[in-house]
Structure 1
């Protein structure tokens, strides 16, 4: 049976941030920790070995695949900082136009540093993602 790598665990968020090699990335991780915590109202939790997630929801696709995921999150990786938001919403794409210096994949938005982005737009992206997931999975238990 498939066992997802990205599961919520009891590892310490602070210990994980302190293990980041780059001082600048650690500083940015603490800034993001404050922004995400304040904006979501959820405590930070580790998901898998390297993702800091906020809130959680249970999803189930038409294919039958289901699981749990954080509502939003981030990870201070070596190359860039990964930000995790819900996909599939046109509002996300519109917000990203005013976000600042970034690149985007399907589920991730990548930044070099917090100083490259507009924090007010980051807060709007966080809020938009949670709103979108609540609408998309109304039966899901959002925590």
Structure 2
């Protein structure tokens, strides 16, 4: 399945997010990512709010395009997608506050409990790496 950009209005999508804490955090993340990236939000698939775009290619030759910075307000936690993987941010993650991670995702249940300056630096560094013109992988391949 290939996910693509859609014409859904990100603001309308965020306004409909439940529960309320996830909606509040989605607005905060949208504002933060727009400020860091200088890009306006667009919907990628049915539930990912993305900013900018980068091209990736697997060793098999399969390739595609994905948001260079993105998040999804899921019911259990807000998911921030870090295409370059979370391993590069161990120093910052140690200072972030309550969170969990997977290879390329950072999960935060409540942005009021994390250091937003640290989170902004993670997004900024990831954005810089992914949009440098030399990054063409996915987190699991980094």
TM-score (norm 2): 0.87
1:7 to 4, 8, 12: 4
1:42-83: CA deviation from partner (whole Å, max 9, x where unpaired):
110100000001110111122101000001111111111101
Corresponding residue number in structure 1 for 2:127: 130
CA contact (8 A) 2:52 2:68 kept: yes
Q: Structure 1 121/61 Cα, relative in aligned 2: closer, same or farther at 3 Å?
A: same
List structure 1 runs of 4+ shifted beyond 2 angstroms: 86-91
In the TM superposition, 1:55-74 aligns within 5 A as 55-74=52-71
1:67-111: CA deviation from partner (whole Å, max 9, x where unpaired):
000011111111111011123475322221111110001111101
Q: Which runs of 5+ in 2 are unaligned?
A: 137-142
Q: CA separation in 1, counterparts of 2:29 and 2:5? A: 19
1:118 to 110, 115, 122: 115
Q: CA separation in 1, counterparts of 2:96 and 2:84? A: 16
Equivalenced residue count is 134
In the TM superposition, 1:1-143 aligns within 5 A as 3-4=1-2, 6-88=3-85, 90-133=87-130, 134=132, 135-137=134-136
Q: What RMSD over aligned residues (CA atoms) do the two structures have, in Å?
A: 1.5
Q: CA separation in 2, counterparts of 1:84 and 1:104? A: 10
SS of structure 1 residue aligned to 2:83: coil
Q: Which runs of 5+ in 1 are unaligned?
A: 138-143
